[in-house]
């Protein structure tokens, strides 16, 4: 009788060589086995991370749901504040923190676990300074939104809401690096429980502040701030008490080689901001259309729903980033490649399923956000564009996760700039305004930009030499990590002498 390939750890060992990397796969049966093993590894990390991001996004989405039942002006204003001002700052903060994802993942894979705590502290410092730099965006939100063409009523209320959420901005300086620190070590279950508790508390706070105390949008902002800081503090408490291997205490080493860390942080920030701000710009362009309240409100509901799906793929993004950085740190090019292929295939399949569900429920899902019939009909007209966006956005975040795990941020930033802002955004403007297609034209043109970016990145993935990526990992950790790693402490497969093709 033939011995099964997959039988716990023994099955995995049959498919791996002496260096711990996969052998060349020669049969369909071996491919199926590796597909299953990589699926388990992906979702063991990605499942809790996806749940965490869904809960965190839930604080944004639930806030919109509560405010949407106050009135259409309030819904549009708070959505603008969260999706334009909040997304602007969140994108930059997340990008600055994503350098930590690259370095922590690769350091953990190379066995340099003690460096993770120092990297996290270095990221805390950088992100706290970043918050101070971003303060004018919040303080002058109202004139900025008016300059961008938003109606006065919407801009005034959105500006007030943005100022009240400044404390939430500073919570990100603690929350984002702490999450990356834990994700690199695959300690994600605690993150999921903390995020779930925060979401439950947030719903209670919203009900208390909006309905019981009748504070309206001010109450929504206060609840948002309290929940965000509760989340950050809970994560830090977990790190200080239950992560003794990666956290060795506060260290002055966090201030050393900080500029090298900033350079990688800036590359990450530009890459992610160009992606996140692209969707934000759809809302801004729509604000110039006729009947802006309905246009912005209907698009905001679709963007909000798309955000729920995006949070799932951000979980897969983080998981594949951890898998890529860890395997590169271990010197396993084939394992890296196979992990990427499995993640892309499964994400595309999930995106197709979500698109079918949205099209089937296009006349009903807007009821969750608004009671206005005109708004519900406007949302139904946009459903097909939402479905296409969901398919494209299923693959794109996963490829971005590969870029972060491999340290390709600068290359992807150039691709994003060309695809989104040279091609997609002008096309959206032409279709929406010059061709008089309205919000459908704006969104359709920008979908074309996402499609171009996705195809270019898929081509780059296809052409990637993972052996070279492995060889560059050590140099990156030394140059940007600010830490000389003794050669004898690295896995043999990570040394530059490796020449074999995966």
Rounded CA separation 419/334 (Å)? 30
The 10s digit of each residue's pLDDT in 31-71 is: 888 889 889 888 888 888 888 888 888 888 888 888 877 87
Predicted local distance difference test score (pLDDT) of residue 283: 67
Report residue 476's pLDDT band, with 50, 70 and 90 as the boundaries: low
Q: What angle do CA 486, 13, 24 make, to 5 degrees?
A: 85
Report residue 432's pLDDT band, with 50, 70 and 90 as the boundaries: confident
In Å, the largest CA–CA distance within the chain is 76
Scored b (16 or more CB within 10 A) or e, 84-110 reads: bbbbbbbbbbbbbbbbbbbbbbbbbbb
In the predicted model, is pLDDT for residue 483 greater than 70? no
Scored b (16 or more CB within 10 A) or e, 450-466 reads: bbbbbebbeebbeebeb
In a domain, 289, yes or no: yes
In a domain, 312, yes or no: yes
Residue 452's domain comprises 34-490
In a domain, 13, yes or no: no
In the predicted model, is pLDDT for residue 459 greater than 70? yes
In the predicted model, is pLDDT for residue 499 greater than 50? no
Report residue 386's pLDDT band, with 50, 70 and 90 as the boundaries: confident
The answer to whether residues 297 and 370 touch, using CB atoms and an 8 Å cutoff, is yes
Rounded alpha-carbon distances, angstroms, from residue 376 to 80, 195, 303, 432, 446: 19, 30, 14, 21, 23
Predicted local distance difference test score (pLDDT) of residue 13: 53
CA dihedral in degrees (492, 493, 498, 502; nearest 10)? 160
The 10s digit of each residue's pLDDT in 306-332 is: 877 777 787 788 788 888 878 887 788
Handedness of CA 236, 237, 240, 242 (dihedral sign): negative
Of all residues in the chain, the percent with pLDDT exceeding 70 is: 88
Q: Which residue has the higher pLDDT, 142 or 183?
A: 142
Nearest residue to 441 via CA among 454, 455, 456, 424: 424
In a domain, 98, yes or no: yes
Report residue 292's pLDDT band, with 50, 70 and 90 as the boundaries: low
In a domain, 399, yes or no: yes
In a domain, 57, yes or no: yes
Quick one: tokens of 153?
């009523």
In a domain, 502, yes or no: no
Predicted local distance difference test score (pLDDT) of residue 288: 63
How large is the average pLDDT for residues 11-31? 76
Torsions phi, psi of 22, nearest 5?
-65, 145
In the predicted model, is pLDDT for residue 119 greater than 50? yes
How large is the average pLDDT for residues 170-183? 92
- Of the CA atoms within 13 Å of residue 157, those in its CB half-sphere come to 18
Quick one: tokens of 401?
């996760």
How large is the average pLDDT for residues 337-361? 90
Q: Which residue has the higher pLDDT, 438 or 222?
A: 222
Rounded CA separation 419/297 (Å)? 26
Arithmetic mean of pLDDT over the chain: 81
In a domain, 28, yes or no: no
Predicted local distance difference test score (pLDDT) of residue 253: 74
- How many structural domains comprise the chain? 1
Predicted local distance difference test score (pLDDT) of residue 349: 92
Q: Is the pTM of this model over 0.75?
A: no
User: Residue 443 CA to chain centroid, in angstroms?
Assistant: 21
């Amino acid at each position: 009788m033939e011995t099964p390939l997959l039988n716990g750890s023994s099955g995995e060992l049959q498919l791996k060589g002496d260096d711990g990397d996969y052998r060349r796969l020669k049969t369909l049966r071996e491919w199926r086995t590796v597909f299953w093993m990589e699926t388990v590894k992906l979702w063991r990390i990605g499942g809790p991370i996806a749940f965490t991001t869904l809960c965190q996004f839930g604080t944004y989405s639930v806030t919109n749901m509560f405010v949407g039942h106050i009135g259409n002006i309030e819904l549009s204003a708070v959505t603008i504040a969260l999706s334009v001002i909040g997304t602007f700052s969140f994108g930059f903060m997340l990008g600055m923190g994503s350098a930590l994802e690259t370095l922590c993942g690769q350091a953990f894979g190379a066995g340099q676990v003690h460096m993770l705590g120092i990297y996290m502290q270095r990221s805390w410092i950088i992100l706290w300074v970043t918050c101070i730099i971003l303060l004018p965006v919040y303080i002058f939100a109202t004139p900025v939104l008016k300059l961008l063409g938003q109606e006065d009523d919407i801009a005034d209320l959105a500006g007030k809401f943005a100022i009240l959420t400044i404390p939430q901005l500073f919570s990100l300086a603690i929350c984002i690096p702490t999450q990356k620190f834990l994700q690199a070590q695959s300690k994600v279950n605690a993150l999921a429980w903390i995020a779930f508790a925060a979401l439950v508390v947030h719903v209670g706070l919203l009900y208390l502040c909006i309905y019981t105390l009748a504070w309206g949008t001010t109450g929504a902002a206060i609840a948002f701030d309290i929940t965000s800081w509760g989340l950050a503090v809970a994560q830090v408490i977990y790190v200080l008490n239950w992560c003794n291997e990666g956290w060795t205490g506060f260290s002055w080493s966090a201030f050393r080689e900080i500029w090298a860390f900033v350079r990688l942080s800036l590359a990450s920030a530009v890459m992610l901001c160009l992606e996140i701000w692209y969707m934000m710009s759809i809302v801004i362009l729509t604000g110039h259309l006729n009947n802006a309240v309905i246009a912005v409100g209907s698009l905001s509901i679709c963007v909000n729903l798309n955000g729920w799906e995006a949070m799932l793929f951000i979980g897969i993004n983080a998981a594949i980033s951890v898998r890529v950085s860890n395997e590169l740190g271990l010197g396993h090019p084939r394992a890296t490649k196979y992990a990427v292929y499995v993640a892309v295939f499964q994400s595309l399949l999930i995106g197709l399923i979500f698109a079918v569900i949205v099209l089937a429920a296009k006349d009903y899902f807007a009821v969750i956000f608004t009671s206005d019939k005109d708004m519900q009909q406007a949302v139904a007209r946009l459903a097909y564009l939402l479905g296409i966006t969901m398919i494209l956005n299923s693959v794109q975040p996963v490829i971005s996760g590969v870029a972060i795990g491999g340290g390709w941020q600068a290359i992807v930033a150039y691709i994003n700039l060309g695809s989104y802002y040279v091609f997609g955004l002008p096309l959206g403007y032409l279709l929406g305004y010059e061709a008089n297609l309205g919000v459908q034209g704006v969104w359709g043109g920008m979908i074309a930009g996402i499609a171009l970016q996705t195809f270019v990145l898929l081509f780059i993935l296809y052409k990637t030499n993972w052996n070279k990526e492995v060889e560059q990992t050590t140099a990156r950790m030394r140059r940007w990590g600010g830490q000389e790693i003794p050669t004898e402490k690295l896995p043999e497969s990570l040394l530059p002498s490796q020449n074999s093709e995966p």
